[in-house]
Chain A
C-alpha cells in the first residue's frame, strides 16, 4: 500500500494548548479527501504542519515515503505539495499572469534568471495563459490582482497552487467568503482538477464536502475523531452530534 502522504503520531502544542493530538493519517494517491471539524478543531494547524509553516512538537510526516518532517516550506513546495490559503495570500501589486508565470518559473528553475527580460520563455507564458483560461480568469490576466473581485482572487489562489503541478493539493476553504454568484465557478474548478492530484479539502461547508469528497476525516479538539467514506460519515450519529453540539453552544 503506497500513500502520497502519511502522518505518524503528529502532535503540536502551543504552551499548554494541544492543537494537534496524535494524528496518524494516510492519504492514497489520487484521493478526494475532506478534512472537517468544528471551529478550532485544529484543521489549519494540521495543514500548516503538512506544508512546513509549523514544526510539529513530535511525530513524523511522510511524503511519497520520504520523511519530510524537517523540510522547509520551499522544499516541500518543490517536491509537490501545494496549498491554497483560507485567507487570500496573493501578490496584490502583480497581475495574475505575472503571479502564475513566477510560480511556473520557480517550478522550472527559471526564476533565478536575472539578465533576460520577463516573458522571454514563451513556453512558460503559454502555460500560464492556458492555466488562467482553464480557471476562467484569463480575461483579467493583465489586471492588478489587488483590484480583482474576491471570487476571481479565490480562483487565482487555486491557479497559483496548480502552477506548481503538485502531487498533493491542500485546499483550505476554497469557497469561503465568495458571493453566491461566483461560487459555482469555483466548485466547478475543484470538480475538474486532474485525477493525478491527491486532493485534501479543508472545509466547513458540508454541501461542498459531500459534493467532492469520497473519504472524510473528522478532526475534533486536534485529534482524529473518526474516518470513513462520505456515506459513512454522513450517517454517523457521533459526527452529527459534534456539529449539532457546536451549534447549541453557538446559539446558547
Chain B
C-alpha cells in the first residue's frame, strides 16, 4: 500500500503515522453540521421550533460519554461511575454560581467550569487507585460504589446541595462579561459547543499521541505493556483523572445551561445512560459518544411521541441488535458500509 523510500529504512512510515492524526473531511463536516444545527433550530427559520436547550443537553451528555470513551474505549477500564464526576461537576458549578448571586467571580461560567474540572479531576485522581487492581467486574462494582456514595452524600448534605430538591436559581454571569445566557438557549448552545470542541480537541490530541498509544497497549495486553516498560498504573491514573475532569466539565455545562443542579444529575442512571450511549455510538472512536448522545435523545423523542411508555423497550432492542451484530456501534456500522463501498470501487 505504501511506497517505500529505498534510501531510508522507514520510508514513509513516519509520515503515515503522522497522517493518522490529521483531521478528516468527515470530521470537519461533523463540526460544521453541529454549527449548522444552531441556525436550523435557533428560531431563525419560521415554523421550526427552537430546540437549542435540548441540543445543549445532548452536548453535555455526549461530553460525558466522550469521557467514558477515554477510559473504556482507549484504556479498557470499564466504569459505571463516571456519572459521579459529572454530578460533582454540576454541583460545584451550581453551588458557585448560586453563591456568587449572578456576579463575577463566583458566578462566572468559565471559572465555574475550571473549578468543576479541578474538583472532579481531584476526585478522579483519588478514586483512580481503586480501579488499578482487579478484573472488569471489580472495576464495575468499585466505580458503581463510589458513584452511589457520592450521590447519597449530595442527597444528605441539604445545607449545601439543597437535598432532594436540588439547587434552584443557579444563574451564571455573562460569559467573559459579554454574552448573557438567554431564554432561547442561543448562548447556551454556542457555549456548550465551544467547550465540547475544546475538550474533544484535547482528547483527540491525547489519543493520537504516544501516551494514547500506550493506553491502547494497556487495553490490548497489560502484561506485555509492563514488560516493555510501560508504567501501567501511572498511565491509568493519568487518563482516569483527565476523564473525570472532563466529566466534571460536562456536568458543569448542564448545571449552567439549565440553571439548576439536582440529585438527578449525580444519580446512577446517568452513568448507565452514558455508558449505553457510548456503546451504542461506538467506543474507541471519540465520536461514538457524541453521535450516540444525539441518536439516543432523538430516539427518545421520536419513539416517545409514538409510544411513551415503551420507548425503552425499543431502545433496548436496538441496543441488543447493535451489540450482537455490529462491532463498534453506529460508527462501526458506518465503517463497515464505507469499507464495502471502497472495495466495490476498487473492483475492476
Contact = CB atoms under 8 A, between A and B. Distances in A.
Interface of A: 51, 53, 72-74, 77-78, 82-83, 85, 89-94, 97-99, 101-103, 105-107, 110-120, 122, 125-126, 128-130, 133, 138, 141-142, 160-161, 163-164
Contact of A118 (B2, B210, B224, B232): B210
A103 B16 contact: no
Nearest to A51: B227
Interface stretch (B3-11, B34-42, B145-153, B261-269): B3-11
A92 B228 contact: no
Contact of A141 (B13, B209, B235): B13
A122 B231 CA distance: 23
Contacts of B2: 142
Nearest to A138: B9
Nearest to B218: A91
B96 to A, nearest CB: 29
Contacts of B8: 126, 129
Given A102-B213, A112-B211, A164-B229, A90 B224 contact: yes
Contacts of A125: 10, 13-14, 17
29 contacts: A51-B227, A72-B226, A73-B227, A74-B231, A85-B224, A89-B223, A91-B224, A92-B221, A93-B220, A102-B214, A103-B228, A105-B210, A105-B213, A111-B211, A112-B211, A113-B209, A113-B211, A116-B209, A116-B210, A117-B20, A117-B205, A119-B13, A126-B9, A129-B9, A129-B13, A130-B10, A142-B1, A142-B13, A142-B16
Contact of A160 (B16, B20, B206, B228): B228
B227 A118 contact: no
B14 A122 contact: yes
A106 B214 contact: yes
Contact of A133 (B9, B206, B216, B230): B9
Contact of B206 (A106, A114, A161): A114
A90 B18 CA distance: 23
Contact of B228 (A98, A102, A129, A130): A102
B217 interface: yes
B158 interface: no
Interface string B146-185: 0000000000000000000000000000000000000000
B220 A91 contact: yes
B20 A118 contact: yes
